[in-house]
Amino acid sequence: MAQTNGSNGSSSSPSSPPPVGIYVPVPTFFADSTSSSQAAPPLDLETQSAHSLFLARAGIRGLVVLGSTGEAIHITPSERSELLKSQRKALDDAGFKNRPIIAGTTAQSIPEALEQISASKDAGAEYAMVLSPGYFAGNVNQQGLIQWFETVANDSVLPIMVYHYPGVTNGLYISPATFERLAGHPKIVGCKLSHGIIDDTTLIAANPKIDHDGFVVFTGLGQNLLPVLAIGGVGAIDGLAGCFPRVVVKLYDLFNSSLKKGLTSKELAEMRELQYRICEGEKVVAKWGVVGMKEAIARIWQMGGATSARLPLAGGFEDGEQEWKKWEPVFTGLKELEQSLEKQSK
């Protein structure tokens, strides 16, 4: 992969974006907090690797490790490296060397972001997904954001993606015009948009001034997958795909196959139905976040524990069985669909 040279970001050739498709922002699995230290339950790397291979075998294109769903802000620097190394090794040993790992960064300062990126590369990550610095969101202007990301990119040892998630960055807003500027940097190769502002997404994904071979747009919301693909997005980095990977991949594959051979009314109806089913499941992600995903993965696939989390996330649904019963019909249906797609693939 081509790398930029020097602190000014100059390059003989731009860095390549990550392969298009469906990625999963994997949860970080910990030992059950009821049987370990509540202050910092240790990583459960055995379950982590089992989940990663479950996803790879289902057609997931790559993993985002240490994103928001991965509780990155709860992970120490040494644990970051341990987690990344273990998942790179698990994928490689199982024959999935072509599945990239994108490492999340959560630092507010440029030096710390660069430290996280450098350590991530040493641990086996191929890309860095850099969360926007939202601590001073009320005082930050677009020029400040441009300078922040370009300065990070200039000295980054990995190609970077801009992670725009207003929900965890004090409502920080990054405008389409700012993305247009950042897309021109040879080491800024894409973005993850974790918001539902479809017009802004369109103004980035369909912008004729952006070289979309060098800068790709992923939605962070599976409930928006079909419309985002239609306006030029290249895939999703989606939490629900961590529980039902084949369902989300099926929608992505149907859309792309229809582009090649022409869309039939039957395929359109199937895509609409899949998007509807995904939207139903995404409601638990929207309401409960990583707590909901861990609960679902534990209940549906018996991987990890529903109470596996670090404080202040208490782990598990607040009302336990009563809350799960509200979601069980939707998730049981999605499990049946996931299993039917697995049978079709054999």
Residue 163 known to be catalytic: yes
Cα Rg for the chain, rounded, in angstroms? Answer: 19
Measured in Å, how far apart are the chain's first and last C-alpha atoms? 34
- What H or E segment, with its residue span, contains residue 83? helix 77-93
| Pick from 83, 82, 93: nearest CA to 48 | 83
Distance CA 30, CA 297 (A): 13
Contact 274, 22 (CB under 8 A): no
Distance CA 241, CA 292 (A): 13
Burial of 5 (0-12, 13-18, 19+ CB in 10 A): exposed
The SS3 call for residue 42 is coil
Omega before 312 within 30 of 0, i.e. cis: yes
Distance CA 52, CA 26 (A): 8
| Pick from 48, 56, 62, 39: nearest CA to 235 | 62
Distance CA 279, CA 225 (A): 10
Q: Which of 23, 127, 163, 252 is catalytic?
A: 163
Residue 162 pairs in a beta bridge with 130, 191
Residue 289 pairs in a beta bridge with none
Q: Which of 23, 127, 187, 192 is catalytic?
A: 192
CA dihedral in degrees (209, 128, 38, 325; nearest 10)?
50
| Pick from 171, 337, 173, 177: nearest CA to 270 | 337
Catalytic residue annotation: 163, 192
